[in-house]
Amino acid sequence: MKFLSIDIGGTSAKTGILNENGSILTKDSYSVCFDHYETPILNTILKETDSFLAKHNINISNLAGIGVSATGQIDTHTGTVIGSAGHIKNWIGSPIKDKLAEKYHLPVSVINDADSAAIAEQWIGAAKGHKNAIVITIGTGIGGGVIVNSSILEGKLGIAGELGHFSINNQGIPCTCGNRGCYERYASTTALIQMVREKYEQLSKPFPAEKINGRSIFHQLTLGNPIVEEMTDIWISNIADGLVSLTHIFNPEIILIGGGVSAQKELFIDKVRQKVLRRVMPQFAEGLLIEAALLSNDAGMIGAVKALLGTG
Ligand SMILES: [Zn+2]
């Protein structure tokens, strides 16, 4: 069995052909923001899907279905975008499932990209064999998916698990979602960059690299830069704050951390693990695994196929 899988991000999308084991046979990617979303993302997806099928000589009638993983809040019942924290123009309201089903006459499933990544990790990734898992992606913002008793936690509309938007400070920094003090304002890579920038400004010192970004911060850490060490330690404590609470709420067997920073084992993953295990109640810490996610950039495409298989 072969499936078409489409992973729609805020800046680019990936299209691939996968088999029933989640192996990627062919894939391509393309921009969805080339004209600042004047062309609605869904129009780009429909056009690029045709080009992909033609380029690889794929006969759509040989495929068993279409799995879609997409940025924003997705109503998984209707396969429609019902919210977008990043305020992407012409995205909310996009009837992804209806348009693809109408055009290609195949079963279509649509889920949020962070949920898709969690499903993928549990299927063939680092959470394989675990019934209760939290998969959190730390990047510009924070996304996540929660697996409870082997199923993704959906909630009423399929939009549960907005792990970036629980408030850890009601007097805190205003968030794009309208609330204050959201977790991602303190625990995303964006937050770390902001903290390091402010500290250097406060000390009236130049940052010892051209640009302050995730990469240069971790490079400074390897050099033993004390200011960067101090800020990163506070940031990792912020991350642990949220993970401790999530552990007490969901009692997971494993927490997987994805995103660019998760490649840093000693400087990041190991430190997050230490801080979380030190602070959770003993029964919750028993056997709790905290590891880097495995599937990185392909997780969205892989999880989308599993979600389609799971729905029959
Ligand atoms: Zn928020």
With tokens 């004209």, the residue in question is: 35
Measured in Å, residue 163 CA sits from the centre of ligand 1 at: 9
In whole angstroms, what is the distance from residue 252 CA to residue 291 CA? 13
Is residue 4 pLDDT above 70, yes or no? yes
Measured in Å, residue 214 CA sits from the centre of ligand 1 at: 21
Measured in Å, residue 305 CA sits from the centre of ligand 1 at: 29
Measured in Å, residue 180 CA sits from the centre of ligand 1 at: 7
Report the pLDDT averaged over residues 221-236: 97
Of 73, 51, 71, 66, nearest in space to 98 by CA:
66
Is residue 311 pLDDT above 80, yes or no? no
Measured in Å, residue 179 CA sits from the centre of ligand 1 at: 5
Cα torsion angle, 233, 275, 190, 140, sign: positive
Is residue 312 pLDDT above 50, yes or no? no
pLDDT per residue as tens digits for the range 109-156: 999 999 999 999 999 999 999 999 999 999 988 999 999 999 999 999
Measured in Å, residue 176 CA sits from the centre of ligand 1 at: 6
pLDDT band at residue 10, thresholds of 50, 70 and 90? confident
Measured in Å, residue 86 CA sits from the centre of ligand 1 at: 11
In whole angstroms, what is the distance from residue 185 CA to residue 177 CA? 11
The pLDDT assigned to 85 comes to 64
Cα torsion angle, 225, 214, 246, 283, sign: negative
Measured in Å, residue 85 CA sits from the centre of ligand 1 at: 8
Measured in Å, residue 164 CA sits from the centre of ligand 1 at: 7
Measured in Å, residue 195 CA sits from the centre of ligand 1 at: 18
Measured in Å, residue 178 CA sits from the centre of ligand 1 at: 6
Q: What is the DSSP string of the chain?
A: -EEEEEEE-SSEEEEEEEETTS-EEEEEEEES-TTTTSS-HHHHHHHHHHHHHHHTT--GGG---EEEEESSEEETTTTEEEE-TT--TTTTT-BHHHHHHHHH-S-EEEEEHHHHHHHHHHHHSTTTT-SSEEEEEESSSEEEEEEETTEE--TTTS----TT-SBS-TTS-B-TTS-BSBTHHHHSHHHHHHHHHHHHHHTT---SSSS-SHHHHHHHHHTT-HHHHHHHHHHHHHHHHHHHHHHHHH--SEEEEESGGGG-IIIIIHHHHHHHHHHS-HHHHTT-EEEE-S-GGGHHHHHHHHHHHHT-
Yes or no: is domain 2-113+298-310 CATH 3.30.420.40?
Answer: yes
Q: What token pair was written down for 277?
A: 């295990």
Report the pLDDT averaged over residues 99-111: 97
Report the pLDDT averaged over residues 203-227: 95
pLDDT band at residue 2, thresholds of 50, 70 and 90? very high
Measured in Å, residue 202 CA sits from the centre of ligand 1 at: 26
Measured in Å, residue 1 CA sits from the centre of ligand 1 at: 40
Enumerate residues 6+ apart whose C-beta is below 8 A from 18. 2, 3, 5, 24, 25, 67, 301, 302, 305
Is residue 310 pLDDT above 50, yes or no? yes
pLDDT band at residue 93, thresholds of 50, 70 and 90? very high
Measured in Å, residue 224 CA sits from the centre of ligand 1 at: 33
Measured in Å, residue 174 CA sits from the centre of ligand 1 at: 8
Is-same-fold flag (2-113+298-310; 126-294)? yes
In whole angstroms, what is the distance from residue 121 CA to residue 101 CA? 27
Average pLDDT, the chain: 95
Each domain of the chain, given as residue ranges in start order, spans 2-113+298-310, 126-294
Q: What token pair was written down for 238?
A: 């912020």
Residue 42, phi then psi, degrees to nearest 5: -60, -35
pLDDT per residue as tens digits for the range 56-91: 999 999 999 999 999 999 999 999 999 986 678 999
Q: What token pair was written down for 263?
A: 């490649």
pLDDT per residue as tens digits for the range 270-306: 999 999 999 999 999 999 999 999 998 899 999 999 9
The pLDDT assigned to 153 comes to 96
- Out of 53-67, 77-91, 158-172, 199-213, least confident range: 77-91
Q: Could you tell me how far CA 62 lies from the centroid of its own chain? A: 30
How, if at all, do strands 133-138 and 142-148 pair?
antiparallel
Measured in Å, residue 39 CA sits from the centre of ligand 1 at: 27
Q: What CATH architecture does domain 126-294 belong to?
A: 2-Layer Sandwich (3.30)
Is residue 204 pLDDT above 50, yes or no? yes
Q: What token pair was written down for 73?
A: 């809040």
Report the pLDDT averaged over residues 162-175: 94
Measured in Å, residue 312 CA sits from the centre of ligand 1 at: 34
